[in-house]
Structure 1
Amino acid sequence: MAELTGLADDRALLGRTSTAERVADILRSRIAEGYFPPGTRLSEDSIGGALGVSRNTLREAFRLLTHERLLVHELNRGVFVRVLTVDDVEDIYRIRKLVECAVVRGLGQPPYAVDGLAAAVAEGAAAARARDWKGVSTANIHFHRELVALAGSDRTDELMRSVFAELRLAFHVVDDPRRLHEPYLARNRQLLEALQAGAGPEAEGLLGEYLDDSRRGLVDTYARRVAEGGLGTR
């Protein structure tokens, strides 16, 4: 049992790691919701005090989110919410198209379990009626997370959770969220209807066009904001 001796020494790490992951989950959600916009410096004292966690736990959470490319550590300056470059946005969409289209292509025979997609479409419609364009954005992310979940792969879900969180960093610097997000309400519904009808190949085609159009629209808008506001420098 000598090989287990070292594990006993690591027992204390279990609670700390679990706490750090929970803190990372909280901060990831806050970043995604825009409470900490891109470029914001995160204060260890303020956040640690608010959450009631130790400096070491918070630093581990920061490390996890830095690994996910949501935060960046600058020597002698601190930890900041990352500001994406235009190339980052392009790369996010390359990953999205590779993964999301592959998920739809691999669905197999219908019927497909699309209740989560239908709920996200309804969520987006309700947010639009309330003219809550941030809510429309959130519903859109929920739609695509549910789409990825159709693969039934925890690894794919985890990968895309980080990708979608990073995408939200770009959304937060868009100056006209209605113009960006509103067109995809109808397109999400089109995708849902194709999948409800069991038309996998049609759905994949719609999704590919959707992502190409979304990429062009966001990249154009983001590039303009970079030019106007000096974004993408961190």
Structure 2
Amino acid sequence: MTGPTATLQRDRHLLVRSGTAERVAAILRDRITEGVFLPGTRLSEPSISAALGVSRNTLREAFQLLAHERLAVHELNRGVFVRELSAPDIEDLYQVRRMVECGAVRLAGERGNRGFSAIEQAIVDGQRAAAEERWREVGSASIHFHQALVDLAGSDRASATARQVLAETRLFFVLTESTRAFFEPYIVRHRRILRHLERGRPDLAEQALEKYLRAAEKQLLAAYERRSG
């Protein structure tokens, strides 16, 4: 058996310790942001509950959590679908990302936080994936990089906000061009931002991040227009 259902069956072991709706939602969240379930895909209640071995009620609670996170949407008499982003969604997401990510870098600089290991690991993962031309994984590494930047602030609320916004951003990433030209420039920008942080220049890191996010927003909007057009 292949496809999303087979992937979820392999995820069953993740539910051994906890069969809660939160854990089910976490699994589905990961599979949505990885592109196993593409935007616009109907999330079949019977097949997913059977694949994960959970009750319909638990799955419905998980769907509600995903809807709250804006990753899924319930359509009356049709079911639950992976949410599809619009151009205004992308603009709003990047506005929030600039506020949260740049603010986190600024705060980390004020506190003298120099715990950059997670950022470094994300860059290494991205470089390794790029060398093997696994461009979707380069995209995943980029998401991990940005999450690690926000985590520098040491704020649980900021980190939680970043996780939700980055997951929404990834809804669009899975529909973009999976090419070197699209993803590889991210790695160069990641390394530049880390270099500024390592040199004790969070101000330059913030400036580079701001420029990066505006360029990424423009790139995604252009890709969206090509796909929509």
Following TM superposition, by how much is the alpha carbon of 1:156 offset from its aligned partner in structure 2, in angstroms?
Answer: 1.1
| In 2: Cα distance, 1:177 partner to 1:217 partner | 13
Equivalent residue number for residue 64 of structure 1: 65
Q: In percent, how many aligned pairs have the same letter?
A: 51
| In 2: Cα distance, 1:200 partner to 1:76 partner | 51
Equivalent residue number for residue 21 of structure 2: 20
Following TM superposition, by how much is the alpha carbon of 1:18 offset from its aligned partner in structure 2, in angstroms?
Answer: 6.8
Which SS does the other structure have where 2:39 is aligned?
coil
Which SS does the other structure have where 1:80 is aligned?
strand
| In 2: Cα distance, 1:162 partner to 1:177 partner | 25
| In 2: Cα distance, 1:96 partner to 1:144 partner | 9
Equivalent residue number for residue 5 of structure 2: none
Q: Deviations over 1:95-135 (max 9, x none)?
A: 00001011111121546111111111111100000000011
Aligned partners of 1:121 and 1:188 also within 8 Å: yes
Match for 1:163: what amino acid?
V
Following TM superposition, by how much is the alpha carbon of 1:224 offset from its aligned partner in structure 2, in angstroms?
Answer: 1.6
Normalised by the length of structure 1, the TM-score is 0.87
Higher RCO structure, 1 or 2 (CA under 8 Å, sep 6+): 1
Equivalent residue number for residue 132 of structure 2: 130
Aligned partners of 1:117 and 1:143 also within 8 Å: yes
Following TM superposition, by how much is the alpha carbon of 1:177 offset from its aligned partner in structure 2, in angstroms?
Answer: 4.0
The alignment of Structure 1 onto Structure 2 pairs a total of residues equal to: 211
Equivalent residue number for residue 184 of structure 2: 182
Equivalent residue number for residue 43 of structure 1: 44
| In 2: Cα distance, 1:177 partner to 1:103 partner | 30
Which SS does the other structure have where 1:182 is aligned?
helix
| In 2: Cα distance, 1:26 partner to 1:109 partner | 34
| In 2: Cα distance, 1:78 partner to 1:196 partner | 49
| In 1: Cα distance, 2:199 partner to 2:55 partner | 52
| In 2: Cα distance, 1:22 partner to 1:109 partner | 34
Aligned partners of 1:180 and 1:218 also within 8 Å: no
Gaps of 5+ in 2: 1-17
Following TM superposition, by how much is the alpha carbon of 1:176 offset from its aligned partner in structure 2, in angstroms?
Answer: 4.0
Aligned partners of 2:135 and 2:178 also within 8 Å: no
Larger Rg: 1
- Structure 1 vs Structure 2 CA RMSD: 1.3
What does 1:86-125 correspond to in 2, within 5 Å?
A: 86-107=87-108, 108=110, 110=112, 112-125=114-127
| In 2: Cα distance, 1:82 partner to 1:39 partner | 6
| In 2: Cα distance, 1:79 partner to 1:130 partner | 36
Match for 2:140: what amino acid?
T
Equivalent residue number for residue 175 of structure 2: 173
Which SS does the other structure have where 2:20 is aligned?
helix
Following TM superposition, by how much is the alpha carbon of 1:43 offset from its aligned partner in structure 2, in angstroms?
Answer: 0.6
Aligned partners of 2:42 and 2:81 also within 8 Å: yes
Q: Deviations over 1:29-84 (max 9, x none)?
A: 00011100011001100000011111111000000000111001111110000110
| In 2: Cα distance, 1:63 partner to 1:76 partner | 16
Gaps of 5+ in 1: 1-16, 228-234
Aligned partners of 1:111 and 1:196 also within 8 Å: no
| In 2: Cα distance, 1:80 partner to 1:61 partner | 13
Following TM superposition, by how much is the alpha carbon of 1:179 offset from its aligned partner in structure 2, in angstroms?
Answer: 2.4
The runs of at least 4 consecutive aligned structure 1 residues that moved more than 4 Å come to none
- CA spacing shift, 1:47–1:203, aligned 2, 3 Å: same
